[in-house]
Structure 1
Amino acid sequence: MPTLTKLYTMQEAAQHNTPQDCWIVIDGKVYDVGSYLEEHPGGDDVILATTGKDATDEFEDAGHSESARELLETFFIGELDLSATVIPELEISSKKQADCTQKLKDLTKQNWAIPVAVIGVSVVIGFLYLRKK
């Protein structure tokens, strides 16, 4: 009888982000590494910085050995549910971008008089200067 693998969403994995309860996601797999944090050669802060997102790139960039990869498998608790892929960061950033765009438009509307005044004063001074010659 096949063993069923537990599926987790990225949101579920992201909620486990403390030294006492730490999950990471690498290559679509979810690992509970809370018990390993103190033993990690790179320090616990390196692992804690990767919670709540896919840590595959960081894991690969660190150049882990084959024994480190085998050790990682001992912390396997399930797989990432790719059917429920909602990336909150994208929603937040697009909302922030819309807010920034609106603020820029408001600022442009409010401060149009300053450049117009500078140009106006420059034209008047130029006219008066040329008139005196």
Structure 2
Amino acid sequence: MGSDSKVRSFEEVSSHNKIKDCWLIINGKVYDVTPFMDDHPGGDEVLLSATGKDATNDFEDVGHSDSAREMMDKYYIGEIDMSTVPLKRPYIPPTQAPYNPDKTPEFVIKILQFLVPLLILGLAFAVRHYTKEK
């Protein structure tokens, strides 16, 4: 276990939320996973998304192996003061594009938004041209 073990506040832990400075709370313990960011099988984004909250459920839902759990010991830096952990996490709206259920690439959507009205307009002109009385 890390030599810097002590009781940490939620505010302190949640401020470590960057690729080069990443701490997580799992099962009441605080881990500095910064050295593991490049090696995490799920990528650094998975670890970053678990900052600023109690990441226990995120960790347990994945079903980590015994060896992964043993590896955590070298990243342990202390305990979390549970009285400082908020009961509810504030909602932070997503900063990405709106939900795209069929995973259509965004450029295809933009092209279709441009082309569909043109196609409808062209069809309207064609219908008008061919239905004119002669």
- Give the TM-score normalised by structure 1: 0.61
Q: CA RMSD in A?
A: 2.3
User: What residue number does 1:15 align with?
Assistant: 15
Shift of 1:38: 0.2
Greater helix proportion: 1
* Match runs of 1:48-127 below 5 Å: 48-87=48-87, 89=89
SS at match of 2:37: helix
Contact 2:4 2:77 survives alignment (8 Å) = no
Shift of 1:74: 1.0
Structure 2: where are the runs of 5+ without partners? 93-134
The structure whose Rg is larger is 1
Higher relative contact order (CA 8 A, sep 6+): 2
Structure 1: where are the runs of 5+ without partners? 94-133
- Give the TM-score normalised by structure 2: 0.61
Q: CA offsets, 1:36-94, max 9 Å, x none?
A: 0000001000000000100000100111000000001110000001233445746x89x
Task: Assess, with a 3 A threshold, how the Cα gap between structure 1 residues 82 and 18 changes in structure 2: closer, same or farther.
Answer: same
